[in-house]
Each structure stands twice: as C-alpha cells, then as structure tokens.
A and B are shown apart, each in its own frame.
Chain A
Amino acid sequence: MKIEILGVGCPKCKQLTVNVEAAVKELNLQAEIGKVTDIDKITEYGVMMTPALAVDGIVVSAGKVLNKDEIKKIIAK
C-alpha cells in the first residue's frame, strides 16, 4: 500500500502525516508513506484543497486533517 500526503508543508499537512503514521502503526500495516509537496503534482491529482490524502494513487480526502481513526477506516478497507 502506498499512502501519500499531498500538501506544500504547512502545519496541517504535517499533522496529517503524523496521524497517518500513527494509523499505519496501530494497524500494523506494511505501507509506504510519502509526501507530495510539489504544487504542480498536487494539482495533477485534481486536488485544489490541501492537505489531501491519496491511497494507491487515488485521492480519498482533500481539505481536511483526518484524525487517526478516520484514516484507519480508510486504509483498513
């Protein structure tokens, strides 16, 4: 599983990254966590509101800092 946090690096993006890492750890998943900070790449995903979250290349959330439990529900599917 590849999880990407899309955002240019503001505190909200950093918080989402922390929450993703915590969710992955709690689920004991093997996941590659990456950050997409290039604004051109972010817009290529169709994302206009950050932070956004993509799982295996599909955007699953935008404009929200999902909490750990919300992330767990998404990546556990």
Chain B
Amino acid sequence: MAGNCMCNEAGVLIFPCSGGSDVGELSDRVARKMAKCGQAKMFCLAGVGAHIPGMIESTKAANKIIAIDGCQVLCSKKILEHAGFNPVSFNLKEMGFEKGKTQLTEEIIEKAANKISGGKSEETFSRNSGGCCGN
C-alpha cells in the first residue's frame, strides 16, 4: 500500500536552533508555526548534527534549506554548513528579538514568522508556500 507516502517533493526544509534561551524557543515556535501553515517542513537539526545518514540524505532532497537562529552564535546555520549544506540563514537577533528579553507570546511568534516569510515569501518559499493559516 502507498498510504502515508513520503515521496512528495521535499520542498523547503526549516531548521530552528531550538536553543535553551527564549530566542531559541522562539526559533522553534516560529518554525512549527511556519510548518503548520504549510510554508515549510520542519526538520531535525539534531539528526543532521549527529550525521544520521537518513537525515543527511533526506536534507539533500530539499529544494531549499532554511536555518533559523535565535542569536548571533548561529548554531543552526553552522551545523548545516558543517554537514555540507548552504542554508538561507535568519538570525532573530537581527530582527530585533533580544536574548533574555523576548516573551513567547503568540503575537511575537507571529511577528517573527512574518519577518522570515514576509517579503521573501515568493523567493524563499516558492516551492512550498501555502501562505499562512493565520493561526
């Protein structure tokens, strides 16, 4: 049976740093929101960092790879680069979200998601853009 087929186009894969700080959590929440809205598929940065062959090969199938980092350390971007990928990088700090001073409200998550997808939606998310669901 071909139910639950996973052979659809990989599209845009999004890797948040999901770090321990408030902005790390924000990166994760933003990625989940964008995935829920169909703008990208969330993927496992830890799996890439661990060089799990299945994760690496699945990432190679992506049309575009997005890294979302909470701060200027850019762990997600660097992990992906270390694995041989060339992600489009977004740094939440550069978007005005300060470590230790960012509250995880729906409004903030929405704002960050819009900053990442907004303006670049056609270029960055052209292969897999379903627009935002507005939730």
Which residues of A come within 8 Å of B, CB atoms? 7-13, 37, 39, 42, 45-52, 58-64
B18-50 contact mask (Cβ, 8 Å, vs A): 1 or 0: 000000000000000000000001011001000
Q: Tell me the minimal C-beta distance from B102 to chain A in angstroms.
A: 30
| A39/B6 contact (C-beta < 8 A), A49-B61, A63-B60 known | yes
Residue contact A63 to B2, C-beta cutoff 8 Å: no
Interface assignment of B135: CB less than 8 Å from any CB of chain A: no
Interface assignment of B58: CB less than 8 Å from any CB of chain A: yes
In the assembled complex, 11 residue pairs joining A and B whose CB atoms fall closer than 8 Å, in A order, are A7-B7, A8-B1, A10-B2, A10-B7, A13-B2, A47-B58, A49-B10, A49-B58, A52-B57, A58-B53, A59-B57
B43-75 contact mask (Cβ, 8 Å, vs A): 1 or 0: 110010000111111101100000000000000
Supply 12 further A-B pairs (C-beta < 8 A) apart from A52-B54, A59-B57.
A8-B4, A10-B2, A39-B4, A46-B53, A48-B55, A49-B10, A49-B61, A52-B57, A58-B53, A62-B58, A63-B7, A63-B10
Q: Tell me the minimal C-beta distance from B32 to chain A in angstroms.
A: 16
Residues of the A chain whose Cβ atoms lie less than 8 Å from the Cβ of B52: 46
Q: Pick the contact of A64 from B2, B5, B55, B61 — CB < 8 Å?
A: B61
Residues of the B chain whose Cβ atoms lie less than 8 Å from the Cβ of A61: 57
